[in-house]
Each structure stands twice: as C-alpha cells, then as structure tokens.
Amino acid sequence: MNIAFPAFFLLALILPGFIFTNAYERTENTTLDKKPFEASSASALMCALFLQLIYASFVHLVVKEIDFALCIKILTGVKLTQSDVESLSPDVGFIGSYFVCLYLASYIMGKLLQKIIFCLNPYKSSMLAFDTPWYYELKGKLSSESDAQIIKVSCLSDTKDGSYLYYGYLDDFYLDKDGQLDRIVLFDVYRRDIRNDDNCDTDTDRYYQIKGERLILKYSQIINLNIEYLYIYED
C-alpha cells in the first residue's frame, strides 16, 4: 500500500481534535489561550481520541457497523487484500459523510463548550478562566464585583512627530497570533500634545477632539496604557 494513504487516514482521524481546540480557543479576532505547540498538539490529540471514541461508537451502534479491523490495517500500512478493497469501495460515500459530519460536530462542540465556560466562568477570577493577558482586562471582566460596562482608555503614543496622549472610549481590540495586544480601537477620542503642557492653563487647552468615528492605535507605538472602568448602577 502507498505509504501516503495511512498517513492521510491518520491525519483525517486526528483533525477533529485540532478543529475542536481551535474553535474552543478562539473568539472572533481574539486568541483566548495561547499554548506552546507541543501542549496544543497534545491537547488536540487527546480531544481527537475522545471525539473518535464517542462518535465512532455511536455510528457503529446506531447508524452502520464499522470494520475496525480494516481501519487498523490501513493505519499500520498492511497491504489490503482484494476482498478488503471490494468491501471498502461501496462505503466511500459513507466514509466521506462520516468525516464531514465529525468535522462539523467538532467545530460546533468547541464553540459550544467555549460559550459554556464563558457563561459559568465569565471573570478573570473564575476557576476555569482562560489564561490570557489581555482579554479580561480589556473586556472589564475582572470579578463579579468589578464587571465594568464602560471602559475608557488613556495611552501615551510615541511617534516621529512627538508624543501624544490619547483619551477615549474603548470600542474594540485585536491580538496578534501570539496572544499579545496588537491594536486598540477607540471612539470619541481626544488628543493632547505633551510638548504643549507648559503653555496650557486648563485641560480644555490641552486636549482637542479628533474627528472621525473610530481611531486605531498600534500597540507597538504605545508607551503606557491606563484603563479606567466605569460602572452603571441601578437605583
């Protein structure tokens, strides 16, 4: 048997684990939990094993019997007999459907588990909170006592034209592939030129509003970042 076929079959078997972990660890443009490749691969392999055991058992008992002996032959690279090929040929469509359904189920289960974790552990102080340096801070979800509804940000940005202090409401943020802050998006933003502080008597003189709906700032140009949490209380 061609050595590429067992490798392809093995890849098809473990792929659900990677689909599941990727769906579980990501939400929109935010990486929730950045792990080393070795740890991520180990988690994906364990998830793939668990998913395959549950899914294959269900299909074998409820939908159609699976020839596990033939699967082991394919994985180990044993040459298939003519009878093996003949028994496999009519089930090509079933095999394709098996993997397509499993991949879709893995993605849905990953997203569903993520939502459950957020529902039961929504704060940074929660027992099963994701290990992320920025997500909870910039979402304002530190604890049940510190659940901010509005977040204001002031940051000092260093450019070739000088240093400016930006002050506005946080609208969105994006992380890079390593889970570190890449850029923040602000609205209703005011800017202040640090060089003019000595010539201004009031905050009105120091700050001026920036026209536009959203202002995007690269984190690489930000020297420091101050986060102000605002809370809405009902009387």
Residues 26-47 have pLDDT tens digits of 765 666 666 665 667 888 899 9
Measured distance CA(26)–CA(120) in Å, rounded: 17
Please give the pLDDT value at position 141: 85
* 217 backbone dihedrals φ, ψ, rounded to 5°: -120, 130
Question: Which stretches of the chain drop beneath a pLDDT of 50?
Answer: none
Please give the pLDDT value at position 37: 57
Residue type for position 147: D
Domain positions in the chain = 4-120, 135-230
Please give the pLDDT value at position 132: 77
CATH of domain 135-230: 2.30.30.100
Please give the pLDDT value at position 199: 58
Please give the pLDDT value at position 20: 93
CA-based nearest residue to 30, from 118, 151, 145, 104? 118
Rounded to 10 degrees, the C-alpha dihedral 14/15/17/23 comes to 180
- What is the model's pTM? 0.71
Which tokens go with 73? 């032959």
Please give the pLDDT value at position 160: 77
